[in-house]
Structure 1
Amino acid sequence: MAKIRRMWLVLLATLILLLTFTGCGQGTKTGDKQQTPPAAGPVNKNLILATTTSTMDSGLLDVLIPMFEEKSGYIVKPNAVGTGQALAMGDQGNADVLLVHAPADEVKLVQKGTVINRQLVMHNDFIIVGPPSDPAGIRGVKKAADAFKKIAAKQAIFVSRGDDSGTHKKEKDIWKEAGINPQGKWYQEAGAGMGQTLNIASEKGGYTLTDRGTYLALKKNLNLDIMLEGEKTLLNIYHVMQVNPEKFPGMKINSEGAKAFVDFMVAPETQKVIGDFGKDKFGQSLFFPDAGKDENTLGQ
């Protein structure tokens, strides 16, 4: 009997040790700190961004996208095209979020309900650049429309993006204000992004309209000078917006990722990065942060 009793005591002690060990491993013993399970990442990590070439050519997205990906866990797939094409991608449900610079056309998509949560992000400005020799004599002209008139009168080479981008839309507005329908060998359409259009204008000794950011980013390789700047109508304003998932119920719009990207772009930390971008390399900002501002006060 004593032997059997000792065996039962050994078995009981072993069982108690096992239960104690298991409880410690699971964090259930009194006084043990419960371990918090890691936060779940995004269900759909891929985020399609439709944007203009200027945000890519200037190098800004090379800075911002890695920041966003590290903070959020999303993987951004940028499509840098003309703003017209970027807006069309949104209008067809082929993007999740847009970063563009054609306010009038953006508002049309808002009114259609195609995009939501449209937020002001930043601005720079459009400038007219041309060869240092200035064959059309526009250096010092105060109004863009007057400069375009002189270029047309001289039939000096003008290289248009010709891609329905925000820059191209602004250029067409200026020609319209000048009362000119540009035609002829002197007016050449590149059908390309801003960086490539600037390179073509430089090679051909022509004029073009560009955003300041892309020009400054590429300036060292261009034989182009700023001919006209500072006119308020040449403000270049960027907004970010989500594609409305309710408009495209069968297309799996990544609305959570899109909202995260919008929130990121207008966050104070990101706005500071935007405001500082370019200062170290060019001595001036390529973009001015505008989140939370009244758009009507820009340029005043």
Structure 2
Amino acid sequence: MKKLFLFLMFFIMALAWQAWAGDKVLRMATTTSTDNTGLLDYLAPMFEKDTGIKLQWIAVGTGKALRLGQNCDVDILLVHAPAAEKKFVAAGYGINRREVMYNDFVIVGPQEDPAGIKGLFIKEALQKIAAKKATFVSRGDDSGTNKKELALWKMAGIDPKKLDKEPWYIQTGQGMLATLNVAAEKKGYTLTDRGTYIKFEYNHKGKPPLVILVEGDKALRNQYSVIEINPKRCPNVRNDLARAFSDWITSPKAQKAIAEFKLLGKQLFIPEK
């Protein structure tokens, strides 16, 4: 009888601990670049140590992350498609959008550079790729990078809707690292955020099969922001935990940690502050 009582007490305490632990878990949807680069693996333990909150995340394209937020499936977003984010907030799905960090997009391709785009501005580079029908590999997954790529084609005077029919334009439907690998295999060009490219370079021990050919254009800025899911629309989200993360990641301590996150001695993200 005593053993049964002790077992029941232990069981009840275990359930209570699980319930308490569940109260301290923040669910986040984020872009693949923050996951692929290792940034979140680096920041999450710091966040948990400072706040007692465990961070759990799913890494998907920004378009899908926004839909997860719209469906109340997560508590907070860390994404990089400013125009789509602003629409998301304006529609009442998110609140307290705060800019966290940035890097830039670059066009990478084979060393031989068959389209001759090295050193050009992004507009001229894309025009030359299209004119020469050089292989271009797109994520094609409605991610922040994919949204940016399509906007850049449009800026270059090329209708993004017509690219689907071009044999030289390949869509992977996958994340950035996978798309870089396909571009390397096909000896093609692709648009990538610099952070993920540095990770790609790191994976190839500093000798990647693709090199940066176009960079530095003002149109290539890549802004990352956090957005809390609106608790008025999604009453079950943990806005208290989301606000704690938003406050923490924009704090001087976390911003310093972001600045110090490097691979191959290269900074992957630049803090907003």
Q: TM-score range by the shorter chain?
A: 0.7 to 0.9
Q: Distance in 2 between matches of 1:82 and 1:66?
A: 24
Higher RCO structure (Cα 8 Å, ≥6 apart): 2
- For the Cα contact (< 8 Å) 1:42–1:73, is it kept in 2? no
Q: Distance in 2 between matches of 1:162 and 1:207?
A: 14
1:229-251 C-alpha deviation (Å, 9 max, x unpaired)? 000110000011110111123xx
- For the Cα contact (< 8 Å) 1:127–1:227, is it kept in 2? yes
What is the aligned counterpart of 2:157 among 179, 188, 194? 179
What is the aligned counterpart of 1:237 among 223, 241, 247? 223
Q: Distance in 2 between matches of 1:171 and 1:202?
A: 18
Number of the residue aligned with 2:233:
247
Q: How many equivalent pairs are there?
A: 246
Instruction: Tell me, yes or no, if structure 1 residue 260 matches structure 2 residue 244.
Output: yes
Q: Distance in 2 between matches of 1:200 and 1:69?
A: 36
- Deviation of 1:145 (Å): 1.7
Letter in 2 for 1:207: Y
- Of structures 1 and 2, the larger Rg is shown by 1
Q: Distance in 2 between matches of 1:263 and 1:43?
A: 21
Instruction: Tell me, yes or no, if structure 1 residue 153 matches structure 2 residue 131.
Output: yes
Uncovered stretches (5+) of structure 2, i.e. residues with no partner: 1-19
What is the aligned counterpart of 1:95 among 63, 67, 74? 74
Matches within 5 A, 1:10-29: none
Scaled by the length of structure 1, the TM-score of the pair is 0.79
Instruction: Tell me, yes or no, if structure 1 residue 275 matches structure 2 residue 253.
Output: no
- Deviation of 1:275 (Å): 0.7
- Deviation of 1:72 (Å): 1.9
Instruction: Tell me, yes or no, if structure 1 residue 164 matches structure 2 residue 142.
Output: yes
- Deviation of 1:283 (Å): 2.4
- Deviation of 1:151 (Å): 0.7
Q: Distance in 2 between matches of 1:43 and 1:90?
A: 19
1:14-65 C-alpha deviation (Å, 9 max, x unpaired)? xxxxxxxxxxxxxxxxxxxxxxxxxxx7771221100000001111111011
Letter in 1 for 2:50: K
What is the aligned counterpart of 1:115 among 67, 90, 94? 94
**SS at 1:223 equivalent:** coil
Q: Distance in 1 between matches of 2:69 and 2:224?
A: 16
- Deviation of 1:110 (Å): 1.4
Q: Distance in 2 between matches of 1:95 and 1:186?
A: 38
Letter in 1 for 2:221: L
1:136-156 C-alpha deviation (Å, 9 max, x unpaired)? 110121x21211111111111
Matches within 5 A, 1:62-101: 62-101=41-80
Please identify runs of 4+ aligned residues in structure 1 that moved more than 2 A: 281-284
Q: Distance in 1 between matches of 2:138 and 2:67?
A: 21
Matches within 5 A, 1:165-244: 165-181=143-159, 182=163, 183-220=165-202, 221=204, 222-244=208-230
